[in-house]
Structure 1
């Protein structure tokens, strides 16, 4: 036995020496299909580059050789070597961005039918190379794991946005931005070039737009940044964008047409399409301040909500717009031009005799139709010049041409994608929650996981979803360092969601791969901010067969240790260890937390779950829900699901009328208790009801009021708050339960479940 044990040890050691350690594949975005192989490919100066591209991939080959120069210190030779990297052109596939990558011990084959595909295959190879190459560290020899990849993107439109109007960013930063987008296979940069606060693109027909409109004395947004910079220097205005004029500081800058053409060409080499936005008819104060005749009232000013817009019935406006867009089209070869059409202050149109006369002559019933007239006229001009037009979803108010691309951003206005797709428009999903990275509450989990379409979106119209985009608005982001912190690592979550198939997306895997990407970002000098919270995110599964509720807990950190209780007590390391979905029957108060080094961490999750008597019972609505917030339609109040922190999570049901429903218990029932949770978020107009009243009936006609609960949350409360309207039903008998809550503030009421026991 002793000799056998020694022999076994020798075999084990030999096997260990012959089998290289498995390298973790941390590609972001994750490929559609990836299969691990055995062995590894050794990349060094003796590796041969074999090109079979029919002369079509010259720019990509140049990029690849520069990548080799960074990695191993020299370009690959095309003469015979120890092993081979072959770049091969295939027949053009249906998806021009698809590629195949095969890594074996003696050969790497990268094949694609188009330049885009071969470039993205090279990007996957780059992510397999040591991150130290990004800062100039050369390796004599690099081992690459054997694998097979077949890959293509899920969406055509995979975009980031950058607002350079509110605060200006150098051309160097824009080029670096493009580099980082291409590293994660994002293919479009939506450049917001003009707004009220600054005009950033040279227009030769109107030089004053940049001479005057490109500069400003410090405004309120600058003041906010300056104040915040006292505690965080990243909020400081960058000196390179400030000029002193007669002792007064002016902030600004602009891009010349030559600079933009060079930038567009650079982005094209990285397969990033630059899409310009000239926002109109609103957000035009920088231009109207110079040419006040472009406004109906002849002045650049602020209305009740937004700035004075262009005057849609003034022919001089269209001369101006077409002259500007002609130069824009000459600079940007993109087939897309974004014209904004969002947040238009229409009060000046209502007050303009000329506008009212025009509306009457053209049988227009509202100023929304006047906006549609403007959008359609400008769009027709662009379409006649071979461009496709993109607008923000606000443009839909007065009707919209089905040929326009609609960028959905107002996530609080439900069913926008549904309406646009039904109208024939292609839709770009850019909802502010979770895709506005400029907001500090943008959460990595939500970026990766949050549903972007309502449950009622027609499945047969999925093909109308053109892609995904996230935005960086810069009202309070004045520096490159702060922009980096807001963008990364959020960009990686967006990239995977836009590229990878649903089956290839895995949150737990992504968290691990993300951590492995951070050293590369470090080497690239990205000033990212990654502070994953230990906050737990609960999900529910209502099991009506077993009459129980399953609970799943998610977290932003990798492989968290979680303990929980179901009786409302604070968990300890002796409590239930979370190992996956668990179930509770009846009512339970779940309290859970992440533990680190054996100690509980904040915040501690408390979640009420109730498998109550009314689950699955029919509900009659005396007043219907607001169509923008249907949740699960008529079953929402008795489906067992409790909402989270956001009223647009698909569980909270919204009402702009009084809340007035009747539950049919389907038989005479002993009624002991009632509870309903409402939300208040005064900023977007979500308020508590004045009170809630519960009445019961045996026949559905004669009701006896039995419970009234007064609201004690003032409408002036600005913080988001939740209130449980809870009380006893005194053990009375009844079949029908009527619940009434008046909408006194005339805003929104949001409620998630009516709990009856």
Structure 2
């Protein structure tokens, strides 16, 4: 997409005119079609507002007029003026969210078939105005560039999420959150209302859910926040959400049903749908503490998570249906999210009642029991006209194909494939990169990272409903800190979910983002975003010329980059990066951004090898884990090296030993071997205990020529990449057998077998 670059050139020409506010514009998300025309439109209080149909789009027109009053000091006139803005209803726009916008020197025509489209056209107009209009300062005259826009979204589900259970957020913040989402055409707010740490919605039939369940004594995450607040005030617990219970401070809060109804109506006026989540059968400790009879045994904690609701007690379903009836009464959204994630089934396994029920029904395992719970609750909601959303763990039970599955476990990359093949719709919300609560989430990954495996059945792409990012708030106690983590990441999500793939351009987005950052600052959003100087390497394996191309990406716009190919730290006397370059054989790339002649950390270091085994056949004597196929059987000899993420599509994962034979095609002089493995003990990824290499001329009789012991301790934290390498002593052989022992019986990940 180069439309934006062309637009900038045209606007620079326009800016040379002697007009009050030079035009410098940015639209996020980028429209489906945008053409820059000649001229400019002068917006002023004398501009006339023309309505083709006075009865159509009344709420949207009222919103637009309030915006004009905020910007110009008065609403637009209905009397003939120097120029006009005309709002039209057109049957040509069958998509409710599509619109067209024509801006010429004397007229703006905004046209859509539905209220949503008109509203989104208005937000586009708003973004075309200078960022300074958001500061509250009035202007007599503003310029808009002459443009022609046709626009409609890629996905129907474009969502942000907010966890108000772990830490509580005020109604004022929720309203402001909706304002910001709507500005970037994000149309859903997934509100996580209940969890172990707090119940946030008033339920009239069970008043103690908020009377007791909305409040807690400080927990371990509160303690973490309090400790961090000593250095960063944004981690301080908001005193508005703390009260004394006797002599003990407790944290919490809840929303009344009237408050929620008003909020839902406000969000609807901005075309943001509030999707409520009542997480069950796990993550229910806030309710179970109040009503312990809802669980199968003693309330508390199981092996990993809290004890869940008991799926074989009828009183549990009475409770759930009563709660959901009140939820449905407050939230008109077609969707209700019921969670079904991270269920600790230990109590079910120990429960005689559960075991008897499973035997009587003929259930084979506890996953089927969870499926029974999910389907029974879903049936109740469906009978009441609702659609049901669940987290992706629910698919381990036999759930109904009408349920929508929210894919979050990025480390199980095969989930979307399995979901759509079962007939369910899927929402893409992988934790990497769409959990914004992780401060390490990268804007580049949010905008660019591949979310579907290479095996995803493209003929079922229509089963993908859209995208969502989440903000989990265990260690996010303040609104200011929430802002800093949500923005500007939400803008990358918005463009990815709205704009077509051909209109998604990373360089263009980075440029347009700069103006949006100013807009957000003027709107009072507290951000601490600074483009990272970290370089991201991308490889291009050219088998024809037997070379590897290397290019760098960065969050910075047009950074100055110097690099070396021998591993030495670059200086300004090193090679200047001017685009993709190629190396033959092996190279140890080192590259960094330079500013004012000085190196800016970090230095990127990347080993690349065009080695003898590239493109050679690999026989797997033991299979890879199907969740991490990378590029399937060709992954280990394709020349591509992995990044720091095991789910990037380049690392191949194994839960048994890695045991493969590489067929070099003919007897070959073998001089060296290298393979990079990963350790990240959090998600259970460990180094192999030992790597062995054996060679053979006939493929039957192998001689071991290399054994490399692991030296990385199994308790060493953080991400570690280690090369297991050594000499093959000039052996002549056709077949190379590689064995990596999975001594920890966990995951092992490898990206390439380098043989020279």
TM-score range normalised by the length of the shorter chain: over 0.9
Structure 1 position 660 matched with structure 2 position 659:
yes
Aligned residue in 2 for 1:468:
467
Distance apart, 1:20 and its partner CA: 11
* Contact 1:71 1:129 (8 Å CA) reproduced: no
Aligned residue in 2 for 1:403:
402
* Contact 1:51 1:86 (8 Å CA) reproduced: yes
Distance apart, 1:54 and its partner CA: 5.7
Aligned residue in 1 for 2:153:
153
**Counterpart Cα distance in 1 of 2:458 and 2:20:** 47
Q: Secondary structure at the match of 1:144?
A: strand
Superposition pairs of residues 348-387 of structure 1, within 5 angstroms:
348-387=347-386
Distance apart, 1:494 and its partner CA: 0.7
Q: TM-score, normalised by structure 1?
A: 0.97
Aligned residue in 2 for 1:10:
none
Distance apart, 1:132 and its partner CA: 2.3
Aligned residue in 1 for 2:233:
233
**Counterpart Cα distance in 2 of 1:129 and 1:542:** 45
Aligned residue in 2 for 1:697:
696
**CA displacement 1:242-274 (0-9 Å, x = unmatched):** 112322211111000000000000000000000
* Contact 1:282 1:308 (8 Å CA) reproduced: yes
Superposition pairs of residues 666-685 of structure 1, within 5 angstroms:
666-685=665-684
Aligned residue in 2 for 1:514:
513
Aligned residue in 2 for 1:420:
419
* Contact 2:25 2:130 (8 Å CA) reproduced: no
* Contact 1:92 1:114 (8 Å CA) reproduced: no
**Counterpart Cα distance in 1 of 2:569 and 2:206:** 67
* Contact 2:24 2:130 (8 Å CA) reproduced: no
**CA displacement 1:204-237 (0-9 Å, x = unmatched):** 0000000110111111111111111111111110
Superposition pairs of residues 214-225 of structure 1, within 5 angstroms:
214-225=214-225
Distance apart, 1:136 and its partner CA: 1.4
**CA displacement 1:379-404 (0-9 Å, x = unmatched):** 00000000000000011112221100
Superposition pairs of residues 38-57 of structure 1, within 5 angstroms:
38-53=38-53, 55-57=55-57
Q: Secondary structure at the match of 2:240?
A: helix
Q: Secondary structure at the match of 2:216?
A: strand
Aligned residue in 2 for 1:541:
540
**Counterpart Cα distance in 2 of 1:576 and 1:21:** 42
* Contact 2:564 2:575 (8 Å CA) reproduced: yes
Q: Secondary structure at the match of 1:602?
A: strand
Structure 1 position 331 matched with structure 2 position 334:
no
Q: Secondary structure at the match of 2:482?
A: helix
Distance apart, 1:334 and its partner CA: 0.3
**Counterpart Cα distance in 1 of 2:130 and 2:72:** 10
**Counterpart Cα distance in 2 of 1:14 and 1:254:** 52
* Contact 2:45 2:72 (8 Å CA) reproduced: yes
Distance apart, 1:732 and its partner CA: 1.3
Aligned residue in 2 for 1:270:
270
**Counterpart Cα distance in 2 of 1:599 and 1:134:** 37
**Counterpart Cα distance in 2 of 1:419 and 1:719:** 31
Structure 1 position 481 matched with structure 2 position 480:
yes
Q: TM-score, normalised by structure 2?
A: 0.97
**Counterpart Cα distance in 1 of 2:291 and 2:21:** 68
* 1:243 to 1:19, Cα distance in 2 relative to 1, 3 A: closer
* Contact 2:678 2:722 (8 Å CA) reproduced: yes
* Contact 2:15 2:23 (8 Å CA) reproduced: no
**CA displacement 1:95-132 (0-9 Å, x = unmatched):** 21000001000100000000000000000001111222
Q: Secondary structure at the match of 1:666?
A: strand
**Counterpart Cα distance in 2 of 1:750 and 1:271:** 44
Which structure 2 segments of 5+ residues have no match? Answer: 1-12
* Contact 2:20 2:142 (8 Å CA) reproduced: no
* 1:624 to 1:49, Cα distance in 2 relative to 1, 3 A: same
**Counterpart Cα distance in 1 of 2:303 and 2:19:** 71
Aligned residue in 2 for 1:3:
none
Aligned residue in 1 for 2:286:
286
Aligned residue in 2 for 1:27:
27
Distance apart, 1:92 and its partner CA: 5.3
Aligned residue in 2 for 1:162:
162
**CA displacement 1:502-528 (0-9 Å, x = unmatched):** 111111111111111111111111111
Q: Which has the higher mean CA deviation after the structures are superposed, 50-59 or 620-629?
A: 50-59
State the aligned residue count.
744
**Counterpart Cα distance in 2 of 1:514 and 1:712:** 45
**Counterpart Cα distance in 1 of 2:603 and 2:416:** 36
Q: Secondary structure at the match of 2:140?
A: coil
* Contact 1:235 1:479 (8 Å CA) reproduced: yes
Structure 1 position 598 matched with structure 2 position 597:
yes
**Counterpart Cα distance in 2 of 1:294 and 1:46:** 65
* Contact 2:15 2:22 (8 Å CA) reproduced: no
**CA displacement 1:668-698 (0-9 Å, x = unmatched):** 1111111111111111111111111111101
Aligned residue in 2 for 1:724:
723
**Counterpart Cα distance in 2 of 1:15 and 1:464:** 45
Q: Which has the higher mean CA deviation after the structures are superposed, 70-79 or 48-57?
A: 48-57
**Counterpart Cα distance in 1 of 2:372 and 2:516:** 48
* Contact 1:535 1:602 (8 Å CA) reproduced: yes
**Counterpart Cα distance in 2 of 1:95 and 1:345:** 43
**Counterpart Cα distance in 2 of 1:601 and 1:252:** 43
Aligned residue in 1 for 2:444:
445
Q: Secondary structure at the match of 2:659?
A: strand
**Counterpart Cα distance in 2 of 1:616 and 1:439:** 37
**Counterpart Cα distance in 2 of 1:508 and 1:692:** 42
**Counterpart Cα distance in 2 of 1:295 and 1:644:** 44
* Contact 1:22 1:145 (8 Å CA) reproduced: no
**CA displacement 1:265-307 (0-9 Å, x = unmatched):** 000000000000000000000111011110010x320111000
Aligned residue in 2 for 1:5:
none
* 1:42 to 1:717, Cα distance in 2 relative to 1, 3 A: same
**Counterpart Cα distance in 1 of 2:323 and 2:92:** 38
Distance apart, 1:94 and its partner CA: 3.1
Structure 1 position 528 matched with structure 2 position 527:
yes
Superposition pairs of residues 93-112 of structure 1, within 5 angstroms:
93-112=93-112
* Contact 2:173 2:479 (8 Å CA) reproduced: yes
**CA displacement 1:409-436 (0-9 Å, x = unmatched):** 0111121000000001110000000000
Aligned residue in 2 for 1:436:
435
Q: Secondary structure at the match of 1:138?
A: coil
**Counterpart Cα distance in 1 of 2:14 and 2:32:** 36
Q: Secondary structure at the match of 1:604?
A: strand
* Contact 1:629 1:650 (8 Å CA) reproduced: yes
**Counterpart Cα distance in 2 of 1:753 and 1:212:** 55
Distance apart, 1:21 and its partner CA: 10
**CA displacement 1:447-485 (0-9 Å, x = unmatched):** 111111111101101111000000000111111111111
Aligned residue in 2 for 1:198:
198
**Counterpart Cα distance in 2 of 1:315 and 1:579:** 68
* Contact 1:617 1:665 (8 Å CA) reproduced: yes
Aligned residue in 1 for 2:3:
none
**Counterpart Cα distance in 2 of 1:14 and 1:633:** 53
* 1:331 to 1:15, Cα distance in 2 relative to 1, 3 A: closer
* Contact 1:36 1:146 (8 Å CA) reproduced: yes
* Contact 1:68 1:76 (8 Å CA) reproduced: yes
Q: Secondary structure at the match of 2:601?
A: coil
**Counterpart Cα distance in 2 of 1:649 and 1:484:** 28
* Contact 2:21 2:143 (8 Å CA) reproduced: no
Structure 1 position 587 matched with structure 2 position 586:
yes
Structure 1 position 711 matched with structure 2 position 710:
yes
Q: Which has the higher mean CA deviation after the structures are superposed, 53-62 or 315-324?
A: 53-62
Q: Secondary structure at the match of 1:455?
A: coil
Distance apart, 1:532 and its partner CA: 1.6
RMSD: 1.4
